[in-house]
Each structure stands twice: as C-alpha cells, then as structure tokens.
Amino acid sequence: MLNSNYLLVLFAFPFLATLIVSMVRGRGQAVTWVSIALALGYFIVVLLGLTVTELRYEATWFLPLGLKYGLYLDSYAYYLILLSSFLTLLALFYSRGVVEKKITAYHALFHALQATVVACLLCDDLVFFYVFWEAMLIPMYFIIGVWGGQRRLYATMKFFLYTFAGSLFMLLGLIAVYIYYYKATGVWTASFQTLMEYFQTNPMPVTVQSWIFLTFVLSFAIKVPLFPFHTWLPDAHVEAPTAGSVILAGILLKMGTYGLMRFAVPLFPEAAQAFAGPLCFLSVVGIILGALVAWQQTDIKKLIAYSSVSHLGFVTLGIFMMTETGWNGAYLQMINHGISTGALFLLVGFLYDQRHTRDISAYGGLAKILPMFTLILVVMTLSSVALPGTNGFVGEFLILLGSFQSNTASWIWVVLASVGVILGVIYMLHMIQKLCYGKPSKPEVETMTDLTWKEWVLYSPLVALVFFMGIYPIWFLGPIQEKTAGIFATIAPFLAK
Amino acid sequence: MEEQSHLQCIAALAVLLPLVGSALWFSLGKKFGEKFVSIGAVSFLALSFACIAYIFFTATLPLRINFFQWLPLGTSSVSFAFLFDPLSLALSMVVTGVGTLIHLYATGYMHGDAGFGRFFSYLNLFVFSMLMLTLSDSLPGLFLGWEGVGLCSYLLISFWFTDEANASAGKKAFIVNRVGDFGFLLAMFCIFKVFGALSIPEILQTVQAGNFSGDDLFWTRLACFGLVLGAAGKSAQIPLYVWLPDAMAGPTPVSALIHAATMVTAGVYLCCRMQPLFLLHLDVLNVIAYMGAITAFFAATIAIFQNDIKKVLAYSTISQLGYMFLAVGLGAPVAAYFHLITHAFFKALLFLGAGSVIHGLHHEQDMRHMGGLRTKMPITFWCMTIGVLAIAGVPPLSGFVSKDEILHNVWGNHDWTLVALAFTTAFMTAFYMGRLWIMTFFGKFRGHHEAHESPWTMTSVLVILAAASALAGILNWPHLWGGSETLGTYLSTVVQALIHHAEDPAHALQSSLTLAVVSSLVGLAGLTIAYFRYRNFSGEEFSSPAFRPFQNKYYIDELYDAIVVKNLRMFGKFLWKVVDGFVLDGVLNGSAALASRTSTYLRQLQTGLMQQYALWIWIGFLILLLGAWTGRS
Amino acid sequence: MFEKLIQDSMTALPMLHWPILACLVLVVNLFGRGGPQFYLGFVALGLIASLSWDIAIFNNELRETVFSGGVVWDSYAQVFTIIAKAMVLVVTLTVFPVAGLQTKFFKSAFDQTAEFLVCLLLSGMGVSILASAADLTSLFLGLEIMSIGLYCLCGFYRADVRSTESGFKYLMIGAFSTAIFLYGVAFIYGATGETSYALIAQKMTTLAGDPLVKLGVLFTLAGLAFKLAFVPFHLNTADVYEGAPTPVTGYLATIVKVGVLAASLRLLWGVLESVSGMWISSWIALCALSIVIGNVVALQQRTMKKLLAFSSISHAGFMGLGLLVSNPQSGDVFPLMSYIIVYSAMSLGLFALLTYLENGEKPLLIEDLRGLVRKKVWVSLALGIFIFGLAGIPPFAGFMIKFWIFQALIEQGYWTAAWIGVLGSLLGAAYYLKVLMTIFISEEEGSLISYAPPRDPILSLRLVVIAATLLTLLGGVRPQLYAHWIFSTLALK
Amino acid sequence: MSAPIAYVLFLSFAVFCFGACGFLIRKNALSLLICLELMLSGVNMAFVGFSRLHQNEGGNVLYFLVITVAACESAIGLALILNFFRLKKSVRLDEARALEG
C-alpha cells in the first residue's frame, strides 16, 4: 500500500476535508464532529506511513517551463506531517465548546491550514513549495483576524505582511537558482532532487551562492523567528485564538527551520559555511533575549511566545553549526517544541476559558485549587526547561553536544547558548510560582473547576509523548539519523575540516 | 564484567521500586490514607535497600548492567546502564539505608499533613533520582539523576507552597543548582570532544592509558573546572552555597535526607568518581582544596551567630562538606568518602533530633525560645548529645576518626594556610555545636508551649542513628591505631591517594597520635567554652554592632540579588522595551507610516483640475526626454 | 479592383464583425422599440456567434497583409481579436443588470442602450485594428477609433455631473496625448519617409543615432504611455475611472490596456527593435515607477473605484515589464499573454461585482463594504478571491502570472526591474489586505449591508463572476488551460 | 524652390507649443478645444513638410486622417461641454472638481 499514490492520498485528503467541512450545513455541533472525525481519519492515514523512508510521486500534469507537481516524502517531511495532523486533531478537539461564531468557517480554515502545510512539506518542486509556503498565511490570516483578541487587526496584518515581505525575497532567490540551472544545463526544472544532485557535483560560485542563500535565510528566519525578525510572534500569539496559537507555535514556526534544513543549507553548503558565524550569533542572542524578555512579561501567552523564540534559537544554532548530531537534535527539538508549547497554549486556553484573562497576576495558588492542572503544567514546564528524562533534554543535549564539536563556528556560541539553559529555568519557574504557588490573588480563582475527562483526552497523549521521547528517542531518531547522514554525505566535501 | 540476568532484574528492581512508589503515592495517596502510604513507602525503600545490599555482598565488582540505548551521538552512543563498583555501592547503601530510616521518621513527623501522599511520592522520586545518580554508568545518566534530585529538592523545599517564601526558596535552589548544572553540561561537552564517548569506564580507561596533546589538555582542564562548578552548585560550596540555608524552608526530614545526608554529597561523589581525570591537572585539585577550606571556615563563622536551629545545622553541613572537598583536593578521596559516610549518620541524627525538638515544641525553631529540654525529651537529648560529640570530634566517636584522618592529610600536606583554616574550623564547629546543645537542652525553658517527647517511630530512628554515628568510626579505623581500614582497602580498587611524602613508620605513629590528641583537645575546648558561655543563657547575645555582618550572613544574599538578579531584570526590561519595542517594532511601524505618509502626499496631486494633470504630463514627458537624451536613464 | 478588397475583407472577417454588428444594432434600433434587455441580448448573441466563428476559423500559419498594407492578419491579430471580443461580451453581460434597473438614476441614463452598445462595439473594433496594425496610419486610426468610442462611454450618464466631467477630462487629456503621439509619428515618418512597419524597420537599422528618430520614438512612447496610464501620465486615470459608469471603468482598466499593449508589442519589438537602446531604459523606468507609485498612492484611497484605478496602474506596470521580456519573433510572449488574460478576468469579475453592489447615487466607499461577509457570503467570497488574485498572493493565478514575469525578467537579466516588482507587489499586498479586512474581519456594519440591491444578480452577472473566479483559482494551479494554447499559437513567423 | 524642411519644422513646433501652452493656461473649456485644434494643425504641418521632403504621399494621407479625427474629437468635446454647462451652468474648468480626492 505504501507506494506513490499513498502520497497522493496524503496530499489530497486535507483538501477534500476542507471542502467537506465547508459544505456541512446545520447546527454547529454537526460541523464540529464531522471536522474532528476527518482530522482523526487523516491522523490515522498519516500513521499508516510510519515505516516509510522515501517515497516519490511523478506528476502527470505538464506545466510550462518545466514546473511539475512532483511530490517527495522523506523522514524530515513525514514527522512534521505527523506532528501537524496530531496537533490539528488536538486543536479542533479543544475548540469544541470554545468557539461560537462562524463554526463552519473556523473548522474549514483549520483544515485548509493543514492542507497547505502538508502540501508545502510534500512539494518536491521549489516553485510549488513557494506557492504553498505563501498559501499557509491565508488561513492563519483569517483565523487570527476573525476569532482573535482586541488588537487582532494590527497583529494579523503585521504577521501576514512581515512573512510575505520576507518570502518575496526568497521568490527572487528561488528563480535565480531555477534559471542558473537552466543556463547551465538547458533543462527547465525546479525539482529539488535534480537540483540537489546537480549542485553536489558542480556547485555555484560562492558569491552567487551567498546572496541566494541570504534570500532563503531571510525568508525562513522571519518564519522561525530568528532574533531580529521575531517581533511579530508575540503579537500574533497574544491575539490568536487558543487553537490558532497551538497550530501557529506547533507547526508554522517549524516550517522555517524545516526550510533551512531541507532547502537552504543543502543547496548552498559553502554559503551556509561562510555565514555560520553571524547566524549563530543571532541564534544565541535570540535565546538570551527570548528568555530574559519572557521573564518580564505579565501576559502568559506573550511569555510563552518569547519562550518559543528562545527554544527555536537553540534549533537554529544546531542547524547553523552543521554537525550531524546537532541536526538530529535540532530536528528532535522542533518536534519537542511543538508538543510542549502546544500543550502550554492549550493549558493557557483552559485558564482563559474560565477566567477570560491572560494576566499572570490574576491567578495564584492554583496548585491547591486545580491540582491536576498544575501537574500537567509542571510536566510541560519541565519538558520546555529540558529536564533530563523529558524530551526537551534529549533535543537540547544533542544540539549543544553536536554543535560543540563543530568547526564551522566557534564553540563560544555553544557556551553562551548553554547559559540559556539557566535563563530558561528562571522565567519558567517564575511563571509556575505566579500561577500555582502562593495565595489565590482573586476570590474568583477559588471557583475554577479542574480538568475533566475531555481535557485528559487532550493532555494524556502529550504527557506520554514527553516522557516516551525523553526515555526512548531511538524509535524516532533512527530514520532521522539516516536522512541527516544522507544530507551530510552530500555537503561534507564543502564543510571545513 | 559478565552480566547475570538475575542480577539485572535485581538492579532494575532496586532503582525502579522508588519510581513506581512515587507514582503510586501521588495518585492513590488521598484515597487510601496515611496508613497505606507510610507502610508502602517504608517497605518499598527497605526492599530497595535489601536489593542493593544483596548486590553489595554477592556480586563481583565492578559489575556493569546494560539496559537499552538512550542517546545516539553519531560515532558512539549513550545507553541506560548501571555500574556497580565500590564507590557507587557505598553511597547507594548510605542513600537507601539512611533513606529508609528517614522515611520511617517522616511517617511520624508528617502525620496529619494534608499532602501526606504527595510528600512521600516526592521523597521516593528523590531516592530514585539519587540512585540513578550514583549507579548510572554514563555521564548523561548521572546528569539525569543530578537534575532529578535538583527537581525533587525544588518540589520538597516548596512543599508547603501556600507560603510565598517557601516557593521562592525552592525556586532559588533549583536556579542555583541549574547554574552548577551549566558547568556540568560544559564539562560533558569538553569530555566528549576529547574522548569521543561519555561512558565513565571508557573515559577513565583512556585517561589512565592515554597521553594527551596540548589541545586535549586544554579541553580536559576546562572539563575539570566545569565539574568543579557543578559539584560546587550541588554541594553548596562557596560561590553557589546561598540556596542551602533557604532550603531549610522544607520539612525537616527533607533537610535531613536531602540537604544533609545524600544530595549535597553528590558533588563529592562526582569528584571521587572522576578522580583520574582530576589527577591530570593538579592545579584544579588545589583549587578544590582551597574552595573546601575557605567554605568550611566561612560557613562555620556564620553558623556561630545563627539563632534558628535548622540554619545552624545547614551552615554546619556546608562547613563539613568544605572539609570533604578539602580532603578530595589534597588527593585523599578515601578520607573524604569516610567523612561523607560518618557525616551522613551524625548530621542526619542532628537534623532528626532538631526535627523532634521542633515537633515537640509545635514548630518552634528559634533556639532562644528553647532550653532545659533534657528533662522533658530524654531520648532526643541523649541521641543529640552523641551527635554533638561526634561532630565536635570527641574520640572515640565516628566524627573524630574521619575528621582526624582529614586533618592528618592536611597536616601531611604542609600547606600552613590550609592547616590553620582546618584547625580553627574544627574549633568553631565544636563551639557552635556546643552552643546549640546547651541553648536547647540546658538552662531554664524559655518557650511558650509545653514540650513533649516524640512518638516511638521518631525516637527509634534517633537511637539507631546515634548507635551508627557512634560506631561508624570502626569502618575505617586507621592502620596506625591497629585498625583494618576496611573502607580504604574497599575503595582502593577505584581511587588512589596521593602520597605526599614517605615517612618512617615509627615517626608516623608518633605524629598521628600527637595530632589526634591535639584535634580532640581543640574539640573539647570548643565545647567547654560554649558550656561556660551559655550555661545560664538569658535570651539575647551578640548585641554589639560589630557582629551585625556576621548575623546577616555577610549580606551575601543581598549582594547576589543586587548584582545578578536586579541587573538581569533591568537588562530584560531594556531588551523588551528598547530593542523589541523601540528599535525592531519602530523600524517596522516606521516603514509602514512612511509608506502611508508618502501616499497621502502623492494623493494631494489629484486636485481634480485637469490642467494640472496636463502640466504633469508635460513635466513627465520632459523628464523622459532629458533622461533619454542624456542616455542616462 | 473590388475583388482584392472583398478577398481581403474575407480573410480579415473577424475584424469586420464589429462594424457589422454595430450597424445591425443601429438598424434594429431604427425600427424596433425593444427595451434595453433586448439590445443587450442581441449584441451578446452576436458576439457569441462571432466569437465561435473566430475560434472555428482560427489559423495559426495565416499571415497576410490586407487592406493594401494597412493591416496584417496573422495568428497574433486573431488571438487579440478573440480576447477583445470575449472582454466586450463580458462587459455587455455586466451591463445587463444595470440596464434593467428601474431606479430614477439608471432609467434616465440607459434609455439609449443601443447607442451605448454601438460605442462599445466600435471601440472594440479599434482594439482589433490596433492589434493588427502594420502601418503607422492604421495604428493611429485604431487608437483614435478606440478612444473616441470611449469618450462617449465615459460620459454616458448624462444626468450625472461626475460622469460628464470624467468623459470630458478623458477626452481633453486623451486628445492632448494623441497630439503628442502624432507628433512622434510625424518625426518617425519624417526620419524614415515610410509609414509601413516593414519598411520603417529596414530603414531603422541604418538610422541608429538619428536625433529625429530619438525624438519621434520618445513622443510616440509618451502617447502610448498615456493610454497605458503609466505613472507620469496617470493622473487623470483616477478621476476618469471614478466618474465613468462601472462597466465602462472595467472596460477602461482592461481592454484599452490590452489593445495598446498589442500595438506597442508590434511597434516596439517589431519595428523599433534595432533602435531599442533608445526606448528600453525609459520603458523600464516608466514601468518601475508605475508599479511602485501606483501601489503607494493606492494605500490611502477611500473609494473602491479609485483604489482599483491605482491598482490597475501598477498592474499596467507589470504588463509593461511583461512586454519588455517578450520576444514576438520567437513566439515567447507567454508571460505577457498569461498576465493579460488572468488580470483581465480578475478585473472584469471584480467590476461586475461592484456594478451589482453599487447603488448608483454616491461613489462606493471601502467603508461601505465593511462586514459584507455576514450578509452576502457568496459575493464576499468572490470578492475575496479576486482581491487575493489581484494582490498576487499564491495559490491564486494572480501569483503565477507575476511569477512568469519575474522568471523572464531574471532570465534576461533585468535585476533592478525584478527587485522593484517585488517591492511593488509587497506594497500592493498591504492595501489589498486592508480591503479584505474590512470585508471579512471587521465587526461594524457598512452601509451596503442594509442596501439590498433590488434585483438578485441575474444569470449574466453570475456567469461572469463564476467564470472569472474559476480562471483566478485554477489559472494558477493549472495554467495550461490557456498556457499551452498561447505557446503554440503565437509564433510570429 | 521649396523652403528647407527646417523652417517648416520650426513653424510646426511653434504652433504645437502655442497650442500646448494655451491648453495649460486657458480656463475656459471651449478655448481648450481650440488649443487642441492648434496642436493638431502643428502636427499636420510637420506631416505635410515631411511628405514634401520625401516626395511621397504618406504624410498627406495622414494629414487628412488627422483632420477627420480632430473633427470627431471636437464634436464629442462640444457635446460633453454642453452637457457639463447644462448641469453646472458654467464652463469654467475650475468648476470641474467633482472627482477630486
């Protein structure tokens, strides 16, 4: 069953789901259950492909100038699709009772978001990767825009335009590669695989390679977000509805790092080598800034948003230091961040639905009133603080250990990044103390109800994943290691010895 | 190092029992009540102790048990594996043994507390992490235990979390431990860079066999410094000791088990375990020695002026740990290890005694409100007396033997500053322990509540510990005094001592005897002075301002707060408001505003007057003409 | 000697369909008393017939100079005539609901539906002549026929001062620019002594540096630039678009630009290729300016039609770049053609919706569209798709057409133009998003919510909107709906 | 003897410029139409001059076409001005500001 038209099913299913959900008439409940069923169905379909290593689907549709709908699935793309389908399922299940207005549109948009993300991950053609890379913004634009908080107009506008501006530069870089290949070989194709094989034997001159690499990095850096380009993230997260934040943090941010690992570094290894130093500096600044600023926040969602800046700073550090272990750790940390931050946003959403405020000082003493909630919150905090035994540690340890051995950039960055480990504890425990310990700051807090079975269905898989991947990451790292080894085999000749 | 399957399951049982227990008590604690939890917790601990003891007596050491692969590191990989050798077994025996006793004690102490189940779940989790720390075969495994105990100490210190102070004390402990862990992480990276592997036996083999290039030596030196920072963080040495006194906010059994007997000794265990690596860099050993000595002296000076009984014991623990690091620094790991074991016994005894006093006086911790308890709490009094005498270094108790051996090594080293520090600290230790002893048990009763003796569960533990701390000395009775140094021989396979100088046997016996007499005289002197000073203690003392800095612990906490915490918070605000808010967002909103301003400006051109449009056409055309003509555009 | 004339008109029959249909309408109008619906239906059917006729007799290899050298009837001219007819058909279908209105405003304006249609058809004829002109005279004639038809159309609402003023302004400035254009033609004629493209092209190779030629080329360029509404010449566009009736604005924004582009493609690349050094850099400057300034000024626009006016200026800039990169000889005009087709579809669709939404008396402000999605879901969905298309945001066709242009620009090394195009489409996205925000996201109620247009959008308008949405959606994902066909047909041998 | 082409060109350019400047300055709508005619006549002069220079009739043909087109334009222009007058009771161009903004 696992052949190329499985890929087609993987590609087409979410698009179909979007259509079906938008067609459903009738009261809100029907739409919700249909959409959750479809999300579950897709999650199972994705699970079927667990053993896949590499699948390719040749396109039948001819397009002018050599563009074609090639689909390509490898373990890098596969695990992100798994994470995306899993988080979408959780997000939709969470927003059952929460969303009242325009439910059909809400669910249709989430399925559309998933469809574009999966399409983007599966595209083998650079141009159609770009098309779906931009298309991802539209559903998110509406999700934040229609169901967001007070300043949603400013936030969603800033989110869309910032990412759109960055990716337009990538468009020119992408076309430059596409035409460079045409001029060199006379063949019109933007298929990533053929480009990779070609550039492996006769790479572009470093000057050309550098500026194209920079356009790619600019676009991906905005999405990640890397240090100077991160100011859209706190606004987007604070204004987005809870389910929107879960998907935004869980999946959309990972597209940036996925892009770096899949396209930017393998295509332009020498340029990546040349710019490794400054980019590592930016990552380290992102780690420290993210942690310190998160410490000052009074809005919980903003705190978690800045913590994402800090966590993804580790991932980009792992990528730009260009070592195999570093890359394995970076990829694992992407998935971990998706799980832990997604869970944190769900927890904040749980609080927000009862108290309708995100101000951290409005809570207090939750440990006594909501013991189960505090347990889940502490477990997720430990995962994001990288306590050994949780998944966060495995990711961070591999990144830092791997990067320390690299000779592309100096080991001082890794030492500074490890300082981030300390800062991480400071702001996370600050949050836990303000939320859970001490006396409840307001009488209403007393009347809050603890987790019910609905929440347990949501959180127990996440908690299980946190510990399972913390203790036994091999089941997951095995295929990733092969893929990384493959990439490093191609770019090894260009790396400094 | 063959692997019998039945040994594997025993080892797994020993370690996993506390983990399973912790999950049980947390979830079922409320439903099944205190009786179930207390029996369960103590029996699980006892069973784990029995397994460790079985391996201790039957297995041929060193025994390496491998479970499954954990971290793939490219060339090599780290797996969950246990390494049973003298070092780890000795400490695990102490951990599980003293742990079981303290569990028994805690069932009495925590009786009636709402979070009873939760408390024992955290305590069991702590024992699990401590066993992971001592038994694991690879550095990351050790690190897992290392941070696990840090987490449990955080959870237990802020156990009564409704009071904000306890919560921030726990937070402070975890953060300061994390600073130490930063050093440990760095050390692991350097070690991996040089040895390409993180499994401890492999590393130590290459260290003994290998010869190292200049570059490698740089990395190993950095690794040693990292380990020292890690050890200092965990064992509360000079730069990172501030968390231990605040850790007293937790329940007393926690202070006894974690902050006296087991967790804080992890640093010493690490230094002994990685001793071959340290031997490559003697200057690092020297640093450890001086760190230990200064910490010992510094902590002792503060302990004298504390009025809270648990704070006195906390600073005394820091001081005794200083001694252990001094011994390790001088290349006498056996002495350090011996002192570690004896200290575990008598410090646990002192803490539990203090706990029973506090329990009796309904949570009264200030010594100035105690006094004359020897008649009301006889058993606690007699056990505490043995503890005080042991720690003061009065022969023939265990404290005297282990401390004397350290002093012997210090004397042998001929480094006079260290000797001076060691001996004055010995005197001060005796003085403040005497002060504690007399203020609580002699003179008239200054408290409010009616004191009563603790229940049998607590006092029985006190008696056992009293016996242990009295007789522990025979464990490593020096050869010179006719002893068999069982611990020394037992550990000799793993660590070796640095012989400073060869002495002829006759002279050695004579000097060690004189040394023993001198150290015991110092101890007795401290006690008698304390006795005469506090015999009829009225209530206040050290009122003159000269003692102000000592009573306020040299304002170290305030200093750290001012330098580190306030600046970091200001830097955070700066980053948020200026870098993010003003610079980055400024650029963004600025460019948007620029675009809309130019657009409003250009819109004014649309005046609706047709002639102006024609005029603009001409102007546009002329520009086109000029551009084309000059060939520029 | 009439045989040659009859034979020529037989070959170039598609072009003659326009006048024939126009005369038929006039004759019918003379006799019959049919209402507006009748005439519109009559013209629509006529156009459909002529369209199917043209597609049937479409002949790729045909290349004949007819009417004694005035016009060359090749595949290129046929394609543009077909496109022009399709667009005029769309405009007539858009006019359907407006014409049928009984409200005071429209009734007085549309009692001469026949005249309206005649002007429309003749203007369409102008476009075909432009596309197939092979002589300076027929170029001038085509331009004038198209423009004169438009002057009447713009000023068609006699009772409304805005429409009269728009027609008047368009005429005055248009005539002014035609004078400039003619002066250019005069100089070219003066320099070469010839008026037919082929001969001029031969002469041009020898007159590389001649100042007269340079002056002539620049004057002609200015005239064409005004018709395409490039920036320095764009000022009256906003007023004309605002004042003119909405279907006519749609016509102005699309077909006029298509016709002039076809003419300038033939003129610039066919005739003035050898002297291209003179006009290429000016042309790039014009296009770049119009893309950036067109989008910048659109940022602060209040009314919908003015916003679309400036967006059409920036799209004209893109089409100019498309022309720059196309090379008629080798048939490589795909970027330009795909841009023309998709852009026209989107604009006409959008203007059709505006016609439906507008309530005639006052201009349609963006504020009026606020929260439209709550009341008219399908209309706002279509509006959203068109706006996303115009903004050039992927997966819609609007992005693909921009992609082909960027790709061709970079392939031929016009880096500055590419970078400016990128900046322009970013600015464009800004104001399109603002419009989307008002339609979909904002909570308040725009005036249009309460104004329920008296008639449900009848069949014609729905047809137009659905066709345009389909093209916008699928155009990007499967451009070979039109790509393949364009590629093969347009080899100008 | 025929006047050299430069004189004819100079004259035509002069007439063209007068027309253009008139177009920019005059405030009355009707005078605008006159100025337009002036510009077109300037162009015609150029056409006839060049046709004479090249001894072929291309320029003359264009001359006639330009005249006819100018006539059509002024016809429609007058119609529009009439309508404008009917609505605004004045032909001053300053009145025509309804489409501002």
Residue of B nearest to A291 (CA): B572
Q: What is the distance between the alpha carbons of residues C7 and C94, in angstroms, rounded to a whole number?
A: 36
A214-232 as b/e: b if 16+ CB within 10 A: bbbbbbbbbbbbbbbbbbb
CA distance D49 to chain C (A): 8
Q: Does any CB of chain B come closer than 8 Å to the CB of residue A419?
A: yes
CATH code where residue D83 lies: 1.10.287.3510
Are chains A and D in contact at 3+ CB pairs closer than 8 Å? no
DSSP H/E element including B77:
strand B76-84
Q: What is the pLDDT of residue A173?
A: 92
Give A365-392 pLDDT, tens digit per residue. Answer: 888 888 889 999 999 999 999 999 999 9
Find the mean pLDDT for residues A217-222: 93
**Per-residue pLDDT at D96:** 74
Task: Check C426 against A165: CB less than 8 A apart.
Answer: yes
Each domain of chain C, given as residue ranges in start order, spans 2-489
Cβ pair A164:C437 closer than 8 A: no
Q: What pLDDT shows up at residue A150?
A: 84
| A407 contacts A323 by C-beta, under 8 angstroms | no
Over residues A468-497, the pLDDT tens digits come to 999 999 888 888 998 899 889 888 888 776
Hey, which chains touch C, using 3+ CB pairs under 8 Å?
A, B, D
pLDDT at A60: 63
Q: Which of A295, A303, A336, A379 to mutate to test the interface with B (most CBs of B within 10 A)?
A: A295
* Partners of residue A133 in chain C, C-beta under 8 Å: 394
Chain A residues 65-94 within an 8 A CB cutoff of chain B:
none
**Distance (Å) from the alpha carbon of B495 to chain A's nearest alpha carbon:** 28
Of residues C205, C188, C433, the one with CA closest to residue C298: C433
Whether the predicted pLDDT of A210 surpasses 80: yes
Subunit contact B618:D20, Cβ cutoff 8 A: yes
Look at B614 and D96 and tell me if their CB atoms are within 8 Å: no
Reported as a single tens digit per residue, the pLDDT across A271-294 is: 998 999 999 999 999 999 999 999
Let me know: does A437 contact B158? Beta carbons within 8 Å: yes
- For residue B633, the model assigns a pLDDT of 37
Domain with D46 in it: 29-90
* Interchain pair D40, C306: CB under 8 A: no
The answer to whether the CB atoms of D83 and C151 lie below 8 A apart is no
- What pLDDT was estimated at residue C485? 54
pLDDT of residue B582: 87
Question: Cβ separation of B151 and A231 shorter than 8 Å?
Answer: no
User: CA A237 to CA A226: how far, in whole Å?
Assistant: 16
Q: Which of C426, C442, C478 sits opposite A164 (nearest CB)?
A: C426
pLDDT on residue C290:
92
Contact criterion met (CB < 8 Å) for D56 and C193: yes
- Is B touching D (3+ C-beta pairs, cut-off 8 A)? yes
Q: Mean of the pLDDT values across residues A5-21?
A: 89
The tokens for B459 are 């006092």
- Least confident stretch, A20-29, C140-149, C151-160, C198-207: A20-29
Judging contacts by C-beta atoms under 8 Å, the chain D residues touching residue C178 are 69, 73
Q: Are C379 and C356 in contact (CB under 8 A)?
A: yes
Query: pLDDT band at residue A233, thresholds of 50, 70 and 90?
Result: very high
Indicate left, alpha or beta for B133 from its phi (over 0: left) and psi (-120 to 50: alpha).
alpha
Nearest chain A residue to B189 by CA distance is: A401
Would residue D47 count as lying in a domain?
yes
Residues of C in contact with B613 (CB under 8 A): 169, 173, 235-236
Mean pLDDT of chain C: 83
Q: Does A406 touch chain B (CB under 8 A)?
A: no
Neighbours of chain B (3+ CB pairs under 8 A): A, C, D
What residues are paired with A54 via a beta bridge? Answer: A74
Stretch C296-306: mean pLDDT, rounded? 88
What average pLDDT does range A83-107 have in this prediction?
88
Is residue D5 assigned to a domain? Answer: no
When divided into structural domains, chain D yields a total of 1
What is the reported pTM? Answer: 0.90
Report d(CA A411, CA A194) in Å as an integer: 35
DSSP letter for each residue of C32-97: ----HHHHHHHHHHHHHHHHHHHHHT--SS-EEEETTTTEEEEHHHHHHHHHHHHHHHHHHHHHHH
Nearest to D76 among C140, C169, C171 (CB): C171
A427 interfacial to chain C (CB closer than 8 Å): no
Q: Is the dihedral of CA C1, C7, C10, C13 positive or negative?
A: negative
Please tell me the distance in Å from B588's CA to the nearest CA on chain C: 13
- For an interface test with C, which of B611, B618, B621 has the most C Cβ atoms less than 10 Å from its Cβ? B621
| pLDDT at residue number B228 | 93
Best of D7, D16, D80 to mutate (most C CBs within 10 Å, chain C): D80
The closest CB to that of C300, out of B596, B617, B629, belongs to B596
Nearest to B189 by CA among A323, C62, C318: A323
| Partner-chain contact D99 B608, CB within 8 Å | yes
C167 touches chain D (CB under 8 A): yes
Across chain B, what does the average pLDDT equal?
86
* Region A327-351 average pLDDT: 93
- With an 8 Å Cβ cutoff, are C214 and B605 in contact? no
Question: In angstroms, how far is CA A466 from the centroid of its own chain?
Answer: 17
For range C221-236, the mean pLDDT: 87
Question: For residue B303, with 0-12 CB atoms within 10 Å meaning exposed, 13-18 middle and 19 or more buried, which class applies?
Answer: buried
Q: How confident is the model at residue B437 (pLDDT cuts 50, 70, 90)?
A: confident
pLDDT interval class at B500 (50, 70, 90): low
C272 secondary structure, DSSP code: T
In this complex, whether B and A touch, counting 3 or more CB pairs under 8 angstroms, is: yes
Answer whether C235 sits within 8 Å of B617, measured CB to CB.
yes
Beta bridge partners of C196: C135
- Chain A, chain B: beta-carbon pairs less than 8 Å apart: 124
At residue B177's C-alpha, the angle toward residues B171 and B182, to 5°, is: 125
Minimum CA–CA partner of D98 in chain B:
B608
pLDDT at C467 over 70: yes
Which pLDDT tens digit goes with each residue over D43-67? 999 999 999 888 888 888 899 999 9
pLDDT reported for residue A334? 94
8 Å CB contact of B189 and A387: no
The whole-angstrom separation of Cα C391 and Cα C409 is 19
Q: List the one residue out of A217, C48, C231, D17 whose CA is nearest residue B617.
A: C231
Q: Is a pLDDT exceeding 90 seen at residue A206?
A: no
**Cα separation of A427 and C12, whole Å?**
79
pLDDT for A329 equals 93
Residue C475 has a pLDDT of: 62
Q: Where are the beta strands (DSSP E) in B463-575?
A: none
The letter for the amino acid at A24 is V
Say if residue C315's pLDDT is above 80.
Answer: yes
As given in the structure block, the two tokens for residue C351 are: 């203007």
CA distance B618 to chain D (A): 9
Highest mean pLDDT among B5-9, D22-26, D68-72: D68-72
Tell me how close the Cα of B570 comes to any Cα of chain D, in angstroms: 49
Q: Report, as an integer, the average pLDDT of B606-610.
A: 78
From residue A338, give the alpha-carbon distance in Å to each of A213, B332, B592, C30: 26, 49, 32, 75
Q: How far apart are CA C282 and CA C297, in angstroms?
A: 22
Please judge whether C297 and B602 are an interchain contact, meaning their C-beta atoms are less than 8 angstroms apart.
yes
Lowest mean pLDDT among B189-198, C182-191, C360-369, C479-488: C479-488
The backbone region for B237, taken as left when phi is positive above 0, alpha when psi lies in -120 to 50, beta otherwise, is beta
Nearest by CB: A175 against C407, C433, C434: C407
Contact between residue B456 and residue B379 where contact means Cβ atoms under 8 Å apart: no
Instruction: For residue C490, name the pLDDT band (cuts at 50, 70, 90).
Output: very low
Binned at pLDDT 50, 70 and 90, residue C492 comes out as very low
pLDDT at B409 over 80: yes
Average pLDDT, chain D: 87
Which residue has tokens 């230091």? A321
The beta-carbon neighbor of C302 closest among D43, D53, D101 is D101
